Structure 1
Amino acid sequence: MTFSLVARCARTGMFGVAISSSSPAVAARCAYARAGVGAVASQNVTDPTLGPLALDLMEGGMRATDAIAEVRRRGKFIEYRQVLAVDRDGETAIHSGPNSLGIWTQAQARDVASGGNLLANDGVPQAIVDGFLASTGHLGDRLIAAMRAGLAAGGEAGPVHSAGMKIVDKVSWPVADLRCDWTEDCPIEAVASAWEVYKPQLDAYIQRALDPRQAPSYGVPGDE
């Protein structure tokens, strides 16, 4: 029902998650990231406790592989879950339970991991990884490129209806958290459109939070 990736920008240290599904509001349940720690996607008959657990373990000093091993040990009904992680060093790890739905598979490289279930074919996660590695620019641009590559490779077996992208950087909140919770059109392109609008304003929103006195114009009526 889902395909996703977690990724680290080796140049900036940003982490991100991008995900799409035939289910509604997939990013609300499945995408987790923490600045300076890592990113996690928890999907397939989702247990939303597994994402924060993996991040807590990595924040406590575990590598991604050790954190995912511990998630497998602690998680309930772990045979139904898929969990993907990338850590602060770019190491990646994936758990895909044998009861994952339909065609399910995974792929990973340094700084990026992808997994999916109920896929159109078993090449989709590798296409996502390849799409990320072949892309350049801002992490958000690379996440979008990777998801488009996965969709072009077949994506989910049926139409997708929701998508999301979350990015964290040096502050304690996500610097971008964009979602399309339901559409009959392409949710990945809806998120991509939102990113094109949001990307030029991202730094200004961070500055306004840190020190509004140094922030650029708010761009609203009456603002000078």
Structure 2
Amino acid sequence: MTFSIIARCHKTGQFGGAISSSSPAVAARCIQAKAGVGVATSQNITDPYLASILLDMTKYDLAPEESISELIKNTDFIEYRQLSVINSDKKPAVFSGKYTLGVHSECVGEHAVGAGNLLKNKDIPIVMVETFEKAVGSLAERLMLALKAGLDAGGEAGPVHSAGLLVVDKLEWPVINLRVDWSETPIEDLYQLWKVYEPQVEDYVVRALDPSSSPSYGVAGDR
């Protein structure tokens, strides 16, 4: 049903994630991030609130493993959930309940976590994390390369139809929040969308913080 990777960039302090699913609009439900705090996912049979709770606990200095441990002890239906979370400096953490669907697995790296369910094979999260850790470029680029590698390694047992990319930096709002909510080739479409947006990311930050010095908007009628 879903495979994802979340990660931090130890150089920039950014957090982000990339995700894909056979279901529509997966990124709208399953991945959340807060600047200066971390990034979390709630997938499989999704409860979006759980990712929010994980980030709230992380904000108050609980390590990822502690956050998931506390959530497991105090949450109904937790065995239906697959969760992952990363903060700025502690070991990332992941949980797959006993009712996680189909072939499922997870992989915890130094700065990234891969997880998936209803997978073609158990290697998908490992491939994503290894690809991320070997890749160069921005956090968003590395996340997209990892997601593409997960698809190339087998992806889901069936076709995927939606995908998303989310990155937070130093601002309250995400600097990157791109989604393909229904497509026959969502990951390829998302990567093309990212490459269009990539050279404009900083421009939109400047426009928010100081529109008097922002670059041209590049639209009809702009001078």
The two structures have a TM-score, normalised by structure 1, of: 0.97
Q: Counterpart in 1 of 2:26?
A: 26
Identity %: 50
Aligned partner of 1:151: which letter? L
2:24 aligned counterpart, secondary structure:
coil
Per-residue displacement from partner, 1:37-87 (whole Å, max 9, x unpaired)? 001111000011101100001111111111111221222200010001111
Per-residue displacement from partner, 1:21-52 (whole Å, max 9, x unpaired)? 00110000001011010011110000111011
Q: Counterpart in 1 of 2:46?
A: 46
How many residue pairs were aligned?
223
Q: Counterpart in 2 of 1:209?
A: 208
Q: Counterpart in 1 of 2:112?
A: 112
**Structure 2 residue 168 is matched with structure 1 residue 168:** yes
Aligned positions of 1:70-219 closer than 5 A: 70-89=70-89, 91-184=91-184, 186-219=185-218
Poorly superposed stretches of 4+, deviation over 3 Å? none
Structure 2 unpaired stretches of 5+: none
- Confirm or deny: 8 A CA contact 1:90 1:112 kept in the other structure: no
1:178 aligned counterpart, secondary structure:
strand
| Distance (whole Å) between structure 2 residues aligned to residue 205 and residue 90 of structure 1 | 31
| Distance (whole Å) between structure 1 residues aligned to residue 70 and residue 166 of structure 2 | 24
Q: Counterpart in 1 of 2:17?
A: 17
2:100 aligned counterpart, secondary structure:
coil
1:18 aligned counterpart, secondary structure:
strand
Q: Counterpart in 1 of 2:220?
A: 221
1:144 aligned counterpart, secondary structure:
helix
| Distance (whole Å) between structure 2 residues aligned to residue 90 and residue 70 of structure 1 | 16
The two structures have a TM-score, normalised by structure 2, of: 0.98
Per-residue displacement from partner, 1:169-189 (whole Å, max 9, x unpaired)? 0000000000000012x1111
Per-residue displacement from partner, 1:132-153 (whole Å, max 9, x unpaired)? 0110100111001100111111
- Confirm or deny: 8 A CA contact 2:63 2:90 kept in the other structure: no
| Distance (whole Å) between structure 1 residues aligned to residue 137 and residue 72 of structure 2 | 34
